[in-house]
Structure 1
Amino acid sequence: MGKIFLWLAILPASIQVLDAQIIEKKKYNTNAIQDGRTPVIDGAIDDPIWDIVEWGGDFIEVRPDENTPPTFQTKFKIIYDTKYIYFAIRALDAEPDSIVRRMGRRDTFDGDWVEVNIDSYHDLRTAFSFTATVAGVRGDEFVSNNGDDWDSSWNPIWMTKTQIDDEGWTAEIKIPLSQLRFNADKEQVWGLQVLRRYFRNEERSVWQRIPQDAPGWVSEFGELHGLKNLTPQNQLEIQPFTVTQLKTYEKEEGNPFRDGNDFKLNGGVDAKIGVTNDLTLDLTVNPDFGQVEADPSAIALDGFQIFFQERRPFFVENKNIFDYRFSHASDNLFYSRRIGRTPQGYPSVSGDQYVDRPGNTTILGAAKFSGKTKNGWSIGVMESLTAKEYAEIDTNGERSEELVEPLTNYFVGRLQKDFNNNNSYVGGIVTATNRFDVPDQLNFLHTDAYSGGLDFKHQWSNRNYYLMGYSIFSKVKGSREAIAATQNTLTHLFQRTDAGHVEVDSTRTSLAGTGGKLEYGKVGGGNLRYTIGAFWKSPELEINDIGFLRQTDEFRQYNTVAYESTRQMGKFRRVGANFNYFNSFDFEGNRNRMQYQFGADGTFLNNWSFDVGGGHIPINYRTAHLQGGPRFKLSRENFVWFIANTDLRKKLRFSADLLYSEAKQGHFTIFEFTGGVTYQPSNALSISFSPQYARYPHKTQYVTETQFSGMPRYITSEIDNKTLSAAIRVNYTINPNLTIQYYGQPFIARGRYSHFNYITNPTAENLFDRYELLEEGQINKQFDTGMYMVDENLDGTLDYSFDDPDFSLVEFRSNLVVRWEYIPGSELFLVWSQGISNFMDPADSLTRGLESGIFGQKPENIFLMKLTYRLAL
C-alpha cells in the first residue's frame, strides 16, 4: 500500500502536459474628457460625450461552453476626467421582457448583471471589482491572490443606473478615481475585464477570453490604454457615527447589575487619508463594532476554541494584505477577533457577591497603513490599543473594582515584494502583543507575545506551475504561571505522560517555537491539477495572543490530484474528480493520522449540481482526546459525503448536505444533515430556511481526569450527543439603498452520558481493550447533588467522584435590521436583536427541550440605532 501512495505522490510531477495556449491580450483605448462635459448617470447612454471613444465588444463565452459565441453580445465604452472614470455598457437581448431584475441588498448578485474588473496596480494579482445588476443593485469586491479571494467587505463610493429598452438593457457606471489605487506615471496601462451574466441560460461571457484551465483570474485580463496625466487623488474621507442602544432583559432579584434594562450612547469617528495615491491611512477613534448578525450557535466538547469569522468593518477592509494563513484553513498569524475580545479575567467572589464584567474590551483607537506601490511593494501596518477593563463587584451594596483585562497594544506589520514580471514575490510579517502592568490575579496572561515569518511564491510556464513556502517563528514571555499554563493547554499538551519529547518546565518565563511549509503544484494548463507539500508546527509554537492556532506538534506530508473538465461533457456543464492523501506525525516520530479520500463534483445541463465522495482513515491517534492524558487511539474510520443543489436561479430552490462517518467496532459515528429551502415570491422578497440535525454517538467521550491510588484516572463514557438548529432569513428590498433583513436561529445541543469507564490501554488495537467499564456497584449517582460516586475496588470506600456531565443547551438568536444608504457611503441602521440562552433538562427530547427553552422565556432585547455620515473631501 505504501508503494502505491508513493507512486501516486510522484506521478503528477512526471506527467508531461502541454501548456495552455497563449492568448493574445485585447486592448481598449480610452480618451479623456477635454471640455468639462460629463455624462449624466441615468442608464440611457445618450450623452454625446460618449462619442469620443469607440465601442469595445466581441465578447466570448467563458461558461458553460468556453470559447464559443455568447447567446447575445455585449459592448462597452470607457471615458475619464480628472476625478472619475465612466463606463457605459450595453447588454443586447432579443427578449427584453424576459430580463430578470431581482432586487437585493448590496453585494447580492442575482438576476442579470454586468461586472467591471480593474487591475489599476497592473500587478496581475489584485483588482477592484464593480458589479451592476439590471435592478440597479451594486456589488463591489476587492480581488486578491489572482482571483482566489474576493472580499465583499470593501465598500467604495460609486454610482450606477440601469435601463431596459428594446435592444436589451444598459448600465452607466461612475467611479471616483479616489476609490482606486494607481501610480503617478503620466501614461498608464491598467488590467481590464468586463463580464456579463446572461441569467436565463446561466451563461457568462467576457471581453478578454479566459480559458477554463487558466491558472488564475487577474493575470489573464486584457489591457486598458489611453490613461494619460491622471492626477493622484489625495483621498480624505471622514465618517463620524453615533450609536444609541437600549438593552432589556429579565430582572434578576437581588442583583443590582441586572435591573432589567441598560442604556448606552456612544459615538466615534473613522477616517481614511490618502498618504499617496496608492497608500492609505485608516484611523478609528472609539470604534463601534456592533455586529448586525450574531455568530452562529456552536458547542465544542473537545475543549478547543471555536473559530468565528471577522465581521467588523475596520478589520475586514484590506484584510488580504495582513493575511498569513498556514497549515489548516483557520490557522493564521493574525486573527483580528483577538482585538476587543471578552476580558480574560474574572474576579474570585463569594456567594453573596455580584459581578458586572464588560462583554468586550474597549478599543481606544486603531490605525492601519496599507496599500501597494508602483514598484510592487505591498505594505500593511496596523496598530491598536485596547483599554484597561474592570469588573465591578457588589458586596451587600458596597462597590469595588478588579482589573480583568490590562492595557494592551497590538501590532501587525506585513510586507511583500513582486518581481519577475509579477510572477514571483517574497514577503514577511511581524506581530506583537504587549500587555502593561499585569497584576497578580492576571498572571496567567503573557506580558509579551511576538510572531513573524517569511513567505515566497514563484510561478512559471504561464503561471501554470508554482512553488511556494513560508516560515513561522513565535516567542511569548510572562510569569512562570503564564508559561506553565501555556505548556498545559490543549494546543501544546506538554504534560502528556507518554510524550518523551516534551515536558512541563514550571521555571520557564518564555517559550519559542517555529513552523513552516513547502508546496509545489500545478494549477492551470489542461485538465490536470496537483499539489505536493509538507508543513510542520513545533510543539512550542504559540501565536494565540493575536493569531489563531488550534494545535501544534505536527509534521504533515500531503498530496492532491484533481481533474477538471474545461468544456461541456455529455449531460454535464462541468465535472471534476479529486484524490487527497496525507500522513501526520508528531515530533517524537509517532504517526498519528493517515487519511485518503476520493471525491467527484459536477453541474448538470439543467444547473443542478452535486459533490460526492468518501474516504478511509486507517490510522488515527489523538493527542488531545484525553485532554492532557496519553495519546489515544481511535478506531479505523470510513466516511462519505453528499451535497446537492437544485438550480440556484429558480424562485424555489433546494439544497442538501449529508455527512456520515463510522468507526470500526462502533467506536463512534458522525451524522450531519443540513437542508436548505429558498423561496423568492417576488423580485424584492426572498425567504430561506436551513434546518440542521447532527448526531455524534461515541463510546469513549472524555468526561474528566481524577486520581486513583495516586495515579491519574481518565474517565470516559458513551454519549448520545445531538444538535438541532435552523437558520431563518428573510430579505426584503424596497430599493437598492433601502433593505429590511431578518435572521433567526433556534439551537439546541443535548448530551446524555452513560456506561462510564476508565482508560486502561489507550493505544490497544481492540477498542474494548482500551477501557474498563465501571459496573453497577462500582458507580452510583446521588440525585440530590448530581454527583457520581465511584468505589472502583469495591472495598466500601469512596475512591473518587465527578459531576453529572449531562447537558442540554438551548439558544435563540435573531436580528431584524433596516439599512438605509441615504447618500452614497452614509448609512442609517435600525437593529432589533434578541437572545435567549438556557440550560434545560437533558432528559427531555430535542424538540421538547427546544420548545420549553425558547417559548415562555423572556429574551434579552437590544434596540440599536447607528447613524454614519461619510464625507469625502
Structure 2
Amino acid sequence: MKSYTYILVFFLFQITVIAQDSISVVKKRIYKTEPLLGEKKPVIDGLINESEWDVVSWAENFIESQPDENTPPSQQTKFKILYDQKYLYVAYRCYDTAPEKIEKRLSRRDGFAGDRITLILDTYHDKRTAFSFTITAAGVKGDEFVTQNGDNWDESWNPIWYAASKIDSEGWTAEIKIPLSQVKFGKSKEQIWGLQVSRMIFRKDERSVWQRVPRDAPGFISEFGELHGLIDIESQKQLEIQPFAVTQLDTYPEEENNPFRDGTDFKLNGGLDAKIGITNDLTLDLTVNPDFGQVEADPAAIALDGFQVFFREQRPFFVENKNIFDYRFANGVDNLFYSRRIGRSPQGTVGENPISSSDPVNDEYIDSPVNTTILGAVKFSGKTKDGWSIGLLESVTAREVSKIEDDAGNKREAVVEPLTNYIVGRLQKDFNNRNSFIGGIFTATNRDLGDILNIDYDNSETDETSELTNLRENNLNLLRKSAYTGGIDFRHNWRNRKYFIEGNLVTSHVKGSKEAIKDTQESLTHLFQRVDASHVELDPDRTSLTGTGGKLVGGKSGGGNWRYEAGVFWRSPELELNDIGFLRQADDIRQFANIRYLFLKPTKFYREANIRANQFTAFDFEGNYNRIEYSLGGEINYKNNWWTEANFIHKPRIFTNTILRGGPRWRFSQENIGVLFFGSDRRKKFNFVMGHVNSWTRQNNFSFKRYVLRLNYQPFNSLSVSLNPEFEQNPNKTQYVTKEDFNGVSRYITANIDQQTLSASLRLNYSINPNLTIQYYGQPFISRGRYKDFNYVNNSIANDLNDRVTLFDQNQISFADDTYSVDEDRNGVVDYTFDNPDFSFVQFRSNLVVRWEYIPGSEIFLVWSQGITGDGDSSNHLFRGLNNQILDKQPENTFLIKATYRFVL
C-alpha cells in the first residue's frame, strides 16, 4: 500500500502548479455562404481550380485549440462553403510549410488517422447535436453523429457523401460534397446552422479551429459559430433502399451418429434495409430479415459472481441513432433499452439442458438456433425545428424451435423461444433557448405464451395439453408474458451552461405466470428469498411486480478550472428491466459526489492534466449501510505526448446482499486498490500502453491483480497492427460454491479459489485504398479456477475473517469421483455432497473481413469467422490449456459473402 501511495503522491505533485482560472467571453463568428446559380458545379477531385468557388470568400484566421488554446497555430487553414438545392460544397486549403511531413495514413472509413480536417454542422441549431464530416490527407472519410453537446460521437452513422484530397507544395487541399438529404434541418426561409471547422496536424498533435472554444467551456456544440445565407433550401425527403444477399458456409468437426453435425452447413439468405424521409426532420428506418454476419465477435468473458455480462451493441441497425433511445437512469450500464435483448440467444431449454448443448441428451441429439431470428424491425426517429426529439422502434422476433432426433430416427421439436414483440418510444423537448429539456420513454415487451398467467402447473387439468407441457418442460413458463417500463427525465443548464441539474424517474411493471414471477423474485437481481431481509418477502402466488428507480444530480460542468457534481440514485427492490433493458441489481440507494480540477494551460512540463476525487455510499431499502468508497486520481499528458494515469481507491466498508445467492448479508474485508497506467506518444508508428491494477484486502480475504500491455505498430501507412495481452489473478478465500442442507440448516459453502485469466486480442488493418480494406481480429481466452480450503459460513457479517467462516478439517471432507463429500458432524455418515467446482474455460474467436465500398453506400463483404469454445483440464498450466483446447482442436469456421446495393431515390 505504501508503494502505491508514494507513486500517487509523486504523480500528483508533478501537476499541482498554479493554473490561470480566467473565463473568456468569445464572440460568435459568422460565415455567409452563397448559392450556386448556374448549371456548372465544382468537380470533387481535391483541386480547388473551378471558377464556381470564386462566388464566396475564404474563412480564415484559425486559432489553436490544443495543446495551447487561444494562440496562433503553427500552420494556417481556410475554407469556403457553397450550396445549391441538393448539395453543400466545401473547399479546404490546409497550409503546411513541410508538405513532405504530412501524415497520409490509410485506414478504413472512420479510422481518423493522419492529418485531417472536419466540418461539424449543428443543423438543428439546438446547441446539443451535430453532424460531423472528416476528410484526411490520404482521402479517407469519417462521419459521426454528435450528441450530448460534444460528449458522445457516434461513428456508426454512415451517410452518402463525396470527398477528395490532394497534396501540393503549399500543403494539402480537399473538397467535399454533402447531399442535403443526409442531414436534417427544419423548414425556414433562411437556415441558421451552428458551424465549426477543426484541423488536426498529426505530427504535432495540434488542433486548430475556426470558432474558438475555450478549454473551460461548458460544452462543445453550444460554443459553435454560425453559418448564414442558406436561403430557401428545400426539404429533402430521403428515400434509400438497400437490399442484400448473403451466402454462408459453416464447417465444424463431424460428430458420429449426430444427424445435425455432419461437418458442413450451407445457407442462402437475403433481406432489405430501407431509409425513408417522412419529413426532412424525421426518418423511418426499417429492416426485414436483417443479417449481422460481418459484425465482430463479442470478447470472451466469465463472471463468477453470477451476474449477466454487458456487451456493447455492434449491429448497424441498432447502433445508428442509438443516442435518441438511450435512457441511462442511474449509473454504469443500467438502461431502460438494451438492444442486445432483441435477437438474443433463445432462453428455453430441452429437458434439463440448455439449448446450446450439442451433447446427446437421453440418446437424443439437439439442433438449436444460436440466436433468435429478427423477422423485422422499424425505427422512426429525428428532431424537429421546434426542438422535439422523437424516437419509436418496434421489432418482432420469431418463434424458435429446437429440432431433436434420437438414435432410432425418431424426431420431435421443442419451442425454445416464443414469438416476441418489442416496442421503444422516446420523446424529448428543448426549451429555454435550448438550455433545458424534458423527456419521456416507454418500452413494452410482449411474448406469445398463451393464457398461462393463472395456471397452476401442479394441479391444472390442462397440464397434459401439448402447448402447456412444452412451456413447462422447456422452461418457457419462467419467461414473463409482458413487461412495461416508463420514465421521465429532464436537464436544466444556466449561467451559459456552466451549471446544471438533471434527473429522471423510471417505473417498471412485469406480468407472468406464478412460476415466472417467483423466478423473477428469486433471481440474482432481486433475491426476495434472502433469509435476513425483512423488507422483502418471496410470494409464490404473485403474477406481477411493479418497481421504481431514478436519479437526481447537479453540479458545475464548465467555466474555470473546477468541475463537480453530487447526487443520489435508487433502484427499488421490485424494479425489473431485463426484458428489453439492462439492470444488474435492484434494491440499492446510492449517494455520490465527484470533483475535478483541470490544468487548462500547458507548461514546459505538460500539455494538459487533471486531478479528481470521488466518494459514494450505498444502502439497501431496509436501511442497511452496505458500502462507502473514496478515490483519488489524476491524469497527465506530458510535453512529449507520453502520459500517465494513476488512481487510488479505499473501501473501508463492503457489504453485499447477493454473494450468498439468497443467503444472509455478507461482509468483505476492507479493500484498497491501486491503479497505474502509462503510455507513449500515440502518434508514433510504434506506441504502447502498460498498466497494472492491484487490489489487496485485510487478512488477505481476496485480491485482484491485472497486468495490461497494449502494443500498436504501423510499419507503413496502409498497415497497422495491435496486440493487447492481459493477465489477471483473482484469489479469494471465500468464493461462493454452493448451498447445501445440513440437518435442516442451510449451509453456504465457500472456498479459497485461485483464479487466473489470460487473453490476448490481435488486430490487423490493411487498407488497399480508402474504399477497400482488410481487417482481422482474433482473441484467445482462458480462465482457470482451482478451489481448496472449503469452508462454510458461520457469521456472515463478522469483522474478523476467521469468525466469518469455519474451515472443514481433513476428517470432515473427502474427494472422490470428482465429488466432495462432507461429514460435518464426524459420525461416519456423509451429510451432503457437491460437485468439484474447478473449471477451465477456453475460447478462441476471430474475424477476417474484406470490405469493398464499390460505390458510395454500397458494399461487398467477404468474411471468415473462426471459433472454438470448450472446457479444459483445470490441472493444466494456462498455456498448456490454450494449446490443448485451441491449437490442437479443429475449429468451427464460417465463410460468408454479403453484397449490398444502396438505391437513392
TM-score range, shorter chain: over 0.9
> Which residues of 2 match residues 123-272 of structure 1 at below 5 A?
123-272=126-275
Picking from 479, 501, 514, the partner of 1:467 is 501
Between the aligned partners of 1:483 and 1:45, the Cα distance in structure 2 is 67
User: Among residues 662, 667, 677, which one is paired with 2:701 in the alignment?
Assistant: 667
**What is the one-letter code of the residue matched to 1:218?**
I
Give the match for residue 363 of structure 1. Answer: 374
Q: Who is 1:428 aligned against?
A: 440
Matched, 1:598 2:665: no
Query: Structure 2 matches for 1:648-667, cutoff 5 A?
Result: 648-667=682-701
How many pairs does the alignment contain? 855
Q: Secondary structure at the match of 2:478?
A: coil
Once the 2 structures are TM-superposed, how far is the Cα of residue 399 of structure 1 from its aligned partner?
A: 1.1
Q: What is the root-mean-square deviation in Å for CA atoms of aligned residues? A: 1.0
Q: Is the 8 A contact 1:575 1:602 kept in 2?
A: yes
Alignment match of 2:405 (pick from 382, 386, 394)? 394
CA distance in 2, matches of 1:84, 1:19: 41
Q: Over residues 306-348 of structure 1, what are the superposed CA-to-partner deviations in whole Å (9 max), with x where a residue is unaligned?
A: 0000011110011000000122221000000000111100111
SS at match of 1:276: coil
Residue type at the aligned position of 2:804: R
Q: 1:862 — aligned with what?
A: 894
Alignment-derived partner of residue 809 in structure 2: 775
Give the structure 2 partner of residue 789 of structure 1: 821
Give the gaps of 5 or more residues in structure 1.
Answer: 1-16
Question: In structure 2, what is the equivalent of residue 299 of structure 1?
Answer: 302
Structure 2 residue corresponding to 1:799, chosen from 806, 831, 851: 831
Q: Which residue number in structure 1 is paired with residue 747 of structure 2?
A: 713
Q: Give the one of 758, 762, 769 matched to 1:724.
A: 758
| Offset of residue 437 of structure 1 | 2.9
1:698 aligns with 2:732: yes
8 Å contact 1:292–1:817 — kept in the other structure?
no
Separation in 1, partners of 2:296, 2:420:
27
Tell me if structure 2 keeps the 8 A contact 1:291–1:312. Answer: no
> Is contact 2:329–2:505 with CA below 8 Å preserved after alignment?
no
Cα offset, 1:354, TM superposition: 1.1
Per the alignment, residue 557 of structure 1 pairs with: 591
Contact 1:193 1:208 in 2 (8 A): yes
SS state at 2:570 partner: strand
- Taking the aligned partners of 1:19 and 1:316, their CA distance within structure 2 comes to 40
Partner SS for 1:484: helix
Q: CA deviation at 1:291?
A: 4.1
Amino acid at match of 2:338: Y
> Is residue 2:391 matched to residue 1:380?
yes
Compute the displacement of 1:20 (Å). 3.0
For each residue in 1:538-562, what CA deviation from the matched residue of structure 2 results, as whole angstroms up to 9, or x when unmatched?
A: 0000010000000010100000010
Q: Secondary structure at the match of 2:394?
A: strand
- Whole-Å Cα distance in 2 between the matches of residues 18 and 565 of structure 1? 9
Counterpart of 1:69 in structure 2 is 72
Q: Who is 2:546 aligned against?
A: 512
Aligned residue among 630, 642, 647 for 2:664: 630
Deviates more, 1:391-400 or 1:359-368: 391-400
1:376-420 CA distance string (max 9 Å, x none)? 000000011111111111122111111111111000000000000
- AA of the residue aligned to 2:867: G
Contact 1:20–1:524, Cα closer than 8 Å, also in 2: no
Give TM-score scaled by structure 1 length. 0.97
- Aligned 8 A contact 1:346 1:391 in 2: no
8 Å Cα contact 1:325/1:333 also seen in 2: yes
Deviations 1:478-497 (A, max 9, x none): 00000000000110011100
Deviates more, 1:341-350 or 1:544-553: 341-350
Instruction: State, as a whole percentage, how many aligned pairs show the same letter.
Output: 59
> How much has 1:18 moved relative to structure 2?
8.1
Paired with 1:192 and 1:684, the residues of 2 have a C-alpha distance of: 32
Q: Does 1:476 align with 2:510?
A: yes
Residues in 1 aligned to 2:613 and 2:765: alpha-carbon distance in whole angstroms:
39
Gaps of 5+ in 2: 1-19, 353-360, 451-467
Say whether the 8 Å CA contact 1:292–1:831 is kept in structure 2: no
**1:418 aligned to 2:437?**
no
The answer to which of 797-806 and 321-330 deviates more is: 321-330
C-alpha distance in 2, partners of 1:848/1:457? Answer: 54
1:90 matched to which residue of 2? 93
Q: 1:742 aligns with which of 764, 771, 776?
A: 776
- Give the SS at the match of 1:309: coil
> Do structure 1's residue 315 and structure 2's residue 318 form an aligned pair?
yes
Q: Secondary structure at the match of 2:881?
A: helix
CA–CA distance in structure 1, aligned partners of residues 256 and 668 of structure 2? 48
2:685 is the counterpart of 1:682: no
Q: Find the partner of 1:541 among 575, 587, 596.
A: 575
Q: Shift in Å at residue 48 of structure 1?
A: 0.4
How far apart, in 1, do the equivalents of 2:178 and 2:644 lie?
39
Q: Secondary structure at the match of 1:178?
A: helix
Equivalent residues of 1:19, 1:461 under 8 A apart: no
The superposition leaves residues 231-257 of structure 1 with CA deviations (integer Å, 9 ceiling, x where unpaired) of: 100110000001111000001112111
* 1:342 aligned onto 2:345: yes
Deviations 1:571-616 (A, max 9, x none): 0000100000000000011111100000010100100011101011
Q: Is 2:21–2:561's contact at 8 Å kept on the other side of the alignment?
A: no
Q: Counterparts of 1:292 and 1:344 in 2: how far apart (Å)?
A: 22
For 1:261 and 1:697, the matched residues in 2 are separated by 42
TM-score norm. by structure 2 comes to: 0.94
Deviations 1:95-138 (Å, cap 9, x if unpaired)? 11111100001101111000000000100000000111100011
Deviations 1:164-185 (A, max 9, x none): 1111000101110000000111
Give the counterpart of 1:332 among 327, 331, 335.
335
SS of residue paired to 1:742: strand
What's the offset of the Cα at 1:364? 0.8
| Aligned-pair CA distance for 1:570 | 3.6
Q: Please name the residue that 2:363 is paired with.
A: 352
Equivalent AA in structure 2 for residue 213 of structure 1: D
Give the partner amino acid of 2:846: S
C-alpha deviation, 1:19, in angstroms: 8.2
Cα distance in 2 for residues equivalent to 1:170 and 1:257 = 59
Matched letter for residue 113 of structure 2 = D
Residue number among 816, 834, 837 corresponding to 2:848 in the alignment: 816
Per-residue deviation at 1:810? Answer: 1.2
Separation in structure 1 between the aligned mates of residue 62 and residue 249 of structure 2, nearest angstrom = 54
Give, in whole Å, the separation in 1 of the partners of 2:221 and 2:849. 35
Matches for 1:838-857 after TM superposition, within 5 Å: 838-857=870-889
Aligned partners of 1:422, 1:612: CA distance in 2, in Å? Answer: 37
Partner of 1:4: none
1:570 and 1:700 map into 2 onto residues whose CA distance is: 50
1:409 aligns with 2:421: yes
> What residue in structure 1 maps to residue 480 of structure 2?
446
Does residue 114 of structure 1 match 2:114?
A: no
Distance 2:485 2:831 in 1: 46
Task: State the secondary structure of the residue aligned to 2:278.
Answer: strand
Q: Give the secondary-structure state (helix, strand or coil) at the position aligned to 1:298.
A: coil
Structure 2: distance between partners of 1:52 and 1:861: 58
Cα 1:572/1:18, change in 2 over 3 Å: closer
